[in-house]
Every structure is written in C-alpha cells, then in structure tokens.
Amino acid sequence: MRCYGMIIDIDKCTGCYNCFLACRDEHYGNDFPPIALAQPFQGHFWMQMNERERGIYPKVKVSFIPKPCMHCDDPPCAQASLSGAVYKRPDGIVIIDPEKSRGQKEILSSCPHRVIFWNEEKNIPQKCTLCAHLLDQGWGEPRCVEVCPTGALLFGDLNDPKSQISRIWNSKQVEVLHPEFELKPRVKYMGLPKRFIAGTVIFKDKDECAKEVKVTLTGRGKKQTLRTNNFGDFEFEGLEEGKEFTVKIEHSGYTPQSIKVQTKQDVYLGEILLKRSSKR
C-alpha cells in the first residue's frame, strides 16, 4: 500500500503561481467523482500562495509559502463532519465526499489551516485532493508538483524506502507548518521562515564597518556565536517567534555592548556603534 507525502521546500519557491494555476486548470470544469466535484471558476485556492516579507529596510527577506490541504493524520475536518463525509484513505489522502458533505458548511471552520473552501453553487465544502483521481490512474504526482519549475514540491510514497521523500521525511530539516496544531500532516516543509535578529556593527572612532567582531546570542537555553562579515553585518536566523534573546557584541579595545531583543517580529537592530574602551 502506498502512503503519500509532500515536502515543500520554501528555499526553492519563487512564488510563480504555477501550482495554483495547474490545480485550477485540473479541477475547474471537471468532476472527478467520487473524489471531488469541479472547482468553481474563481474564489477557491486549493493550493494557496502566501507571500511573506520580513524585516525592515535595509534588512528584508522575501519568501513564498504554497499551502495545500495538509492531509492530516488526525484531521479535524473528519471529526467535524457528519456521516463520514470526510475520510482518510489508506494512502493518507483526506477526501471530502462530495455527496455526503452536502450542506456541511461547519467543516470549513474546523480546519485551523483554513484550506477548505465553500462551493456556493454546489452547496459543498471542497479542498485539495492531491489529485487522487490522477494518482489512482497511475500518475506519480499531482498537477501542482508536475508544473513546479524549480522542484520546490517533492511528492512520493513514504512506504517506499528508496523514494527521495521517504529518505528525508523524518530528517531534522523537514518541519511542520504550525506544529502547535498537532495534526500530524502529510504535507511538510523545509526552510519555513522563522525569526531573525540582525544588525550592522560600526567602529565609532573610525566610522567604518566593524569586520570580524564577535557577536553572541543567548536565549532559550542556547548560545550561538558568530563574527560580523565585511560589511559589519551579523544575522541569527531560524529563531523562535515571540521569545527573548540577548545579543552581545565584543571586540578587543572596544566597550562590549549587550542588547535585549524580543522576536515578536523579525529584528534589524540597525547600526550599532562600538566605542573605544577607556583604558584608565
């Protein structure tokens, strides 16, 4: 038995919208009973594209986060549905039965990822099926994966130990969108944007970029150290959101500085002036 999974590599996603378009192209105007009925002409985003811009000028990062149904192992939509209208197939795909789900609008709000859409005309909830109708015909991947021009979407059989996806599925760099929902999704991510703390260190006496200056970040029971680059820049990336950290900047002959930082948002500390230490 196959067991499908998808990994979305954010580092490779350029936000081209091909995945969304291919999904629309496949599902608009085409019924695939019993898996899904046709998507309406507009308004549904079974594969959503979310643009994420972080930081402030001049330290800004841009990411795109494609988001289909997560095909959870504990799907809240299934729990919210009546008479088994939402069910999980043995291969892991979560399906909303287009017949049984008729009128069950409450299924929409059960999903914390907000990936279920209401079809007004047909009176049914709808979402990504991972193109199960194609997989059942022998396709190796859904349309969105097929059209991804950068290979940002990786799809495959988790039960096949030789598949690329099964080899990395449980590795450290693979993560879950909103792990706090605890839904055991079959769609995972790599390179999801977290928080960064960055700054630019300047030697005040020389008015120049402070290269090779030691910067230490402490917080969440961990300590990281790095050195500023040629532009005096430093950056700690992949930090937890909404936590407190301390940035310490030290260089021989200069007065050390210590700055407390909250990662409610991404933080660019701007130019940090290091003063010569008085030797008296």
Partner 1 sequence: MNKDQEGEKIVRTTVWSPGAGCHGGCGVKLHVKNGRLVKVEGDENHPWNQGRLCPRVLALTQYVYHPDRLLYPMKRAGERGEGKWTRISWDEAFDTIEKKLKEIRDQFGAESVLFCQGTGRDIGGPISFLAYAYGSPNWVQLGLAGQSCYTPRLAAMFATQGDYAVLDAGQFYEKRYDAPEWTPPKCIIVWANNPVPTCPDAFHGHWVVECMKRGAKVITVDTRTTWMASRSEIHLQIRPGTDGALALAMAHVIINEKLYDKEFVENWTFGFDELKERVQEYTPERVSAITWAPKEKIINAARLYAKSKPASIHWGLPVDQCPEGTTVAQAIAHLWCLTGNLDIPGGEVIARPAFGVTTYPFSSHELTALYGEEFVKKLTGKRIGAKVYPMVANFRGWAQPDMAVDQILTGDPYPIKAAWIQTTNILGGQAADTRKHYEALKKLDFNVVVDTFHNPTSMAVADIVLPAATFPEKESFRSWWAPLSVVVPAIKVGECKSDWEINLELARRFNPGAIRYKSVKELINDRLKPAGVTFDELAAEGSWMMPPEGHSSKPYRRYEKGLLRADGKPGFNTPTGKVEFWSKKYEEWDLDPLPYYDEPPESEVRTPELLKEYPLVMATGRRSSVYFHSEHRMIPWMREIDPDPIVEINTKTAADLGIGDGEWVYVENRRGRIKRKAKVTPTIHPKVVMVPHGWWYPETDGREPNLFGIWDINCNQLIPTGTQSRSGFGGGAYKTTLCRVRKLEKER
Binding site for partner 1 (CB under 8 A): 11-12, 14-18, 20-22, 24-25, 41-43, 49, 53-58, 60-64, 147, 149-150, 209, 230-232
Least distance CB 57 / partner 1 (angstroms): 5
Residue type, 232: G
Question: Quick check: 129 and 36 in contact, CB under 8 A?
Answer: yes
Q: Tell me whether residue 50 or residue 79 sits nearer to partner 1 (CB atom).
A: 50
Q: Tell me whether residue 42 or residue 83 sits nearer to partner 1 (CB atom).
A: 42
Q: Tell me whether residue 6 or residue 147 sits nearer to partner 1 (CB atom).
A: 147
Q: Tell me whether residue 30 or residue 255 sits nearer to partner 1 (CB atom).
A: 30
Q: Using CA atoms, how far apart are residues 194 and 182, in angstroms rounded to an integer?
A: 18
Question: Quick check: 250 and 256 in contact, CB under 8 A?
Answer: yes
Q: Tell me whether residue 58 or residue 112 sits nearer to partner 1 (CB atom).
A: 58
Least distance CB 267 / partner 1 (angstroms): 13
Least distance CB 233 / partner 1 (angstroms): 10
Least distance CB 19 / partner 1 (angstroms): 10
Least distance CB 80 / partner 1 (angstroms): 28
In sequence order, the 6+-apart residues with CB closer than 8 A to the CB of 1 are 90, 91, 159
Q: Using CA atoms, how far apart are residues 57 and 236, in angstroms rounded to an integer?
A: 17
Which tokens in the block code for residue 266?
């991404």
Question: Quick check: 195 and 265 in contact, CB under 8 A?
Answer: yes
Calculate the CA 272 to chain-centre distance.
32
